[in-house]
């Protein structure tokens, strides 16, 4: 005798639940995310990360980090 399936079953319900949770997460992020510009500290951190990724020579990395520091100081003075 064969049992006929009605509805999704437990595995289908689990997949639907996972998709609903993922969709809810992205909707939450879109609604709660602010469109404000990043803070000076966040901009400096991003700049320093870019320096670390893009430069392998010590002199180039140091000049890049100094440029990031100047930008951070300019940002801080502009926000005052």
Q: Check residue 75 and give its pLDDT.
A: 87
What is this structure's pTM?
0.50
CA 36, 41, 42 angle in degrees (round to 5)? 55
Q: Which two tokens stand for residue 19?
A: 């998709």
Q: Check residue 21 and give its pLDDT.
A: 97
pLDDT in tens, the chain (80 residues): 566 667 778 888 899 999 999 999 999 988 887 666 678 888 889 898 888 887 678 888 888 899 999 999 988 888 76
Q: Check residue 4 and give its pLDDT.
A: 65
- Residue 48 near residue 65 (C-beta atoms within 8 A): yes
């Amino acid at each position: 005798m064969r049992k006929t399936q009605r509805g999704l079953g437990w595995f289908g319900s689990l997949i639907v639940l996972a998709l609903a949770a993922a969709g809810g997460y992205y909707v939450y992020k879109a609604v709660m995310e602010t469109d404000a510009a990043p803070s000076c500290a966040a901009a400096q951190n991003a700049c320093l990360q870019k320096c670390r990724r893009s430069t392998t020579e010590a002199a180039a990395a140091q000049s890049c980090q100094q440029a990031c520091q100047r930008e951070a100081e300019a940002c801080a003075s502009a926000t005052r």
